[in-house]
Amino acid sequence: MSTTTLKPLAELENELNTMIQSGQIVEAFEKFYADECVMQDQGFEPWIGKDLNRERENDFVGKITEFRAGAMIDGAVGEDVTFSTWHFDYTHAEWGEVKYDQVAVRHWKNGEIVKERFYRG
Protein backbone atom coordinates (compact mmCIF):
# COMPACT_ATOMS: atom_id res chain seq x y z
CA MET A 1 0.00 0.00 0.00
CA SER A 2 1.41 3.42 -0.88
CA THR A 3 2.08 5.70 2.07
CA THR A 4 0.40 8.54 0.21
CA THR A 5 -2.94 6.72 0.15
CA LEU A 6 -2.98 5.22 3.64
CA LYS A 7 -6.22 5.43 5.55
CA PRO A 8 -6.06 6.32 9.24
CA LEU A 9 -5.30 3.26 11.36
CA ALA A 10 -8.64 3.47 13.17
CA GLU A 11 -10.43 3.31 9.82
CA LEU A 12 -8.39 0.28 8.69
CA GLU A 13 -9.03 -1.51 12.00
CA ASN A 14 -12.75 -0.78 11.79
CA GLU A 15 -12.98 -2.08 8.23
CA LEU A 16 -11.08 -5.25 9.18
CA ASN A 17 -13.26 -5.93 12.22
CA THR A 18 -16.45 -5.29 10.25
CA MET A 19 -15.36 -7.85 7.66
CA ILE A 20 -14.55 -10.42 10.36
CA GLN A 21 -17.93 -9.92 12.06
CA SER A 22 -19.73 -10.38 8.74
CA GLY A 23 -17.96 -13.70 8.14
CA GLN A 24 -15.46 -12.41 5.57
CA ILE A 25 -12.47 -13.79 7.49
CA VAL A 26 -10.49 -15.03 4.49
CA GLU A 27 -11.23 -11.90 2.47
CA ALA A 28 -10.11 -9.71 5.38
CA PHE A 29 -6.91 -11.72 5.67
CA GLU A 30 -6.13 -11.22 1.97
CA LYS A 31 -6.84 -7.51 2.14
CA PHE A 32 -5.05 -6.50 5.34
CA TYR A 33 -2.18 -8.89 6.07
CA ALA A 34 1.36 -8.29 4.81
CA ASP A 35 3.29 -10.96 2.90
CA GLU A 36 5.71 -11.23 5.83
CA CYS A 37 2.99 -11.35 8.51
CA VAL A 38 3.57 -13.25 11.72
CA MET A 39 0.60 -14.67 13.62
CA GLN A 40 0.71 -16.33 17.03
CA ASP A 41 -1.86 -17.92 19.32
CA GLN A 42 -1.26 -17.88 23.04
CA GLY A 43 0.92 -20.83 24.01
CA PHE A 44 2.05 -21.67 20.46
CA GLU A 45 5.06 -20.86 18.33
CA PRO A 46 4.51 -18.10 15.74
CA TRP A 47 3.45 -18.88 12.17
CA ILE A 48 5.52 -16.84 9.74
CA GLY A 49 4.52 -15.67 6.27
CA LYS A 50 1.27 -14.99 4.48
CA ASP A 51 1.24 -18.30 2.59
CA LEU A 52 1.44 -20.40 5.78
CA ASN A 53 -1.09 -18.21 7.58
CA ARG A 54 -3.46 -18.27 4.58
CA GLU A 55 -3.37 -22.06 4.70
CA ARG A 56 -4.17 -22.00 8.43
CA GLU A 57 -7.01 -19.49 8.01
CA ASN A 58 -8.58 -21.47 5.16
CA ASP A 59 -8.32 -24.69 7.18
CA PHE A 60 -9.87 -23.06 10.25
CA VAL A 61 -12.75 -21.41 8.38
CA GLY A 62 -13.41 -24.55 6.32
CA LYS A 63 -13.94 -26.61 9.47
CA ILE A 64 -16.49 -24.31 11.11
CA THR A 65 -19.78 -26.16 10.82
CA GLU A 66 -21.92 -23.63 12.71
CA PHE A 67 -21.05 -20.03 13.51
CA ARG A 68 -23.18 -18.56 16.30
CA ALA A 69 -21.23 -15.47 17.35
CA GLY A 70 -18.18 -13.44 16.45
CA ALA A 71 -18.76 -10.21 18.29
CA MET A 72 -16.22 -7.47 18.84
CA ILE A 73 -16.69 -6.14 22.35
CA ASP A 74 -14.18 -3.30 22.51
CA GLY A 75 -11.09 -1.95 20.83
CA ALA A 76 -8.33 0.63 20.97
CA VAL A 77 -5.92 2.20 18.51
CA GLY A 78 -2.39 3.33 19.30
CA GLU A 79 0.59 4.24 17.18
CA ASP A 80 0.96 1.40 14.67
CA VAL A 81 -0.83 -1.02 17.03
CA THR A 82 -4.49 -1.93 17.58
CA PHE A 83 -6.26 -4.03 20.20
CA SER A 84 -9.67 -5.64 19.98
CA THR A 85 -11.58 -7.90 22.35
CA TRP A 86 -13.89 -10.56 20.97
CA HIS A 87 -16.40 -13.20 21.97
CA PHE A 88 -16.60 -16.29 19.75
CA ASP A 89 -19.11 -19.15 19.75
CA TYR A 90 -19.01 -21.78 17.01
CA THR A 91 -18.88 -25.49 16.27
CA HIS A 92 -15.70 -26.82 14.69
CA ALA A 93 -15.48 -30.15 12.86
CA GLU A 94 -12.48 -31.29 14.94
CA TRP A 95 -12.90 -29.39 18.23
CA GLY A 96 -16.67 -29.54 18.72
CA GLU A 97 -18.52 -26.66 20.39
CA VAL A 98 -16.15 -23.77 21.10
CA LYS A 99 -16.79 -20.61 23.16
CA TYR A 100 -14.11 -18.17 24.26
CA ASP A 101 -13.14 -14.55 24.69
CA GLN A 102 -10.06 -13.30 22.90
CA VAL A 103 -7.86 -10.23 22.64
CA ALA A 104 -6.20 -9.61 19.28
CA VAL A 105 -3.12 -7.37 19.27
CA ARG A 106 -2.18 -6.21 15.77
CA HIS A 107 0.95 -4.37 14.70
CA TRP A 108 0.62 -2.40 11.46
CA LYS A 109 3.10 -1.09 8.90
CA ASN A 110 2.17 0.80 5.74
CA GLY A 111 -1.50 -0.08 6.13
CA GLU A 112 -0.94 -3.82 6.57
CA ILE A 113 -0.78 -6.13 9.57
CA VAL A 114 2.76 -7.40 10.06
CA LYS A 115 2.25 -9.11 13.42
CA GLU A 116 -0.84 -10.39 15.23
CA ARG A 117 -1.02 -12.18 18.55
CA PHE A 118 -4.09 -13.70 20.19
CA TYR A 119 -4.69 -14.00 23.94
CA ARG A 120 -7.60 -16.14 25.14
CA GLY A 121 -9.37 -16.37 28.42
Which domains does the chain carry? 3-120 (3.10.450.50)
CB contact set of 94 (below 8 Å; sequence gap of 6+) = 63
Q: Which residues pair with 70 in a beta bridge?
A: 88
pLDDT of residue 23: 84
What pLDDT shows up at residue 108?
98
**∠ CA 5-2-13, rounded to 5°:** 65
Above 80 in pLDDT, residue 3?
A: no
Q: Summarize the confidence of residues 99-120 as an average pLDDT.
A: 97
Overall average pLDDT of the 24-38 stretch: 96
pTM of the predicted structure, to 2 decimals: 0.88
4 pLDDT above the threshold of 60? no
